[in-house]
Amino acid sequence: MQSAFPVFPMLKNYCSWEWQSLDPGIRQRVGPLLEGAGETITVEPVPVSKKPPLYAKSVQELDCQEDIWEVGLVLHNEDSGRCLAYFPTLEKITPAIEACLKKADILMVDGTFWSEDELTGLGAAARDARSMGHLPISGPSGTLELLASIPAERKILIHINNSNPILKKGSVERNTLERLGIEVAYDGMEMEV
């Protein structure tokens, strides 16, 4: 699996890294994060997709048709009892994903595209949002309606494509999000769980 993900050969020139396997349904302890800090974080991986990205080697070549290619993470602070749900890509909302979103204090969710035809309408791509593995924010079965109904303390859209109109402050789309209490991620954003 590691050879199919081309970022690893690039990373070796910049930093060291260690491969860590995550098994869906099994929480893994990763804390304390800071020396002297008492907080313990556990990571709960949640399957999102079995579809490999286009830049990965073909599934047939790897013979890994049962592998999960994308996961979301629920980070649990065992000391505070709070958790953060991190889902940078969402091709659909499964019951397991919805349950994770509903139990989290902070949500960080795929905000790649505002609409299904965002890139095709611009003539920038032949495939629509869903065929690229991303639920659009708006429209039928988009993430907006679900996020608006979840009582999380913070709801933050991440992994935003530069074509997405939510990046423009004052746009109709951005104002819609703000009215519903949904934030747009930005560089340097901080939160505490």
Q: How does pLDDT run across 41-65, given as a tens digit for each residue? A: 899 999 998 777 666 655 445 455 4
Has residue 68 been placed in a domain?
Answer: yes
pLDDT at 141: 86
Which pLDDT tens digit goes with each residue over 69-123? 788 999 999 889 999 999 999 989 999 999 999 999 999 999 999 998 888 888 8
pLDDT at 59: 47
- Say if residue 35's pLDDT is above 90: no
pLDDT at 108: 98
How does residue 24 score in pLDDT terms, banded at 50, 70 and 90? confident
Has residue 122 been placed in a domain?
Answer: yes
| Cα–Cα dist 142/107, whole Å | 16
pLDDT at 132: 82
Nearest in space to 150 (alpha carbons), one of 102, 85, 95, 109? 102
Has residue 137 been placed in a domain?
Answer: yes
Has residue 15 been placed in a domain?
Answer: no
Provide the residue range defining the domain that includes 50.
23-184
pLDDT at 126: 83
Mean pLDDT computed over 116-145: 88
Please state, rounded to an integer, the average pLDDT across all residues of the chain: 85
The count of domains in the chain is 1
Has residue 2 been placed in a domain?
Answer: no
Read off the CATH number of the domain in which 117 is found: 3.60.15.10
Mean pLDDT computed over 131-147: 91
| Cα–Cα dist 63/60, whole Å | 5
- At 181, list the tokens: 């209490």
The number of residues making up the chain comes to 193
Has residue 107 been placed in a domain?
Answer: yes
Has residue 61 been placed in a domain?
Answer: yes
Has residue 16 been placed in a domain?
Answer: no
How does residue 21 score in pLDDT terms, banded at 50, 70 and 90? confident
**Taking the chain, what is the end-to-end CA distance rounded to the nearest angstrom?**
32
**Model confidence, pTM:** 0.84
Torsion of CA 62, 65, 67, 69, to 10 degrees: 80
Task: Judge contact between 115 and 171, C-beta under 8 A.
Answer: no
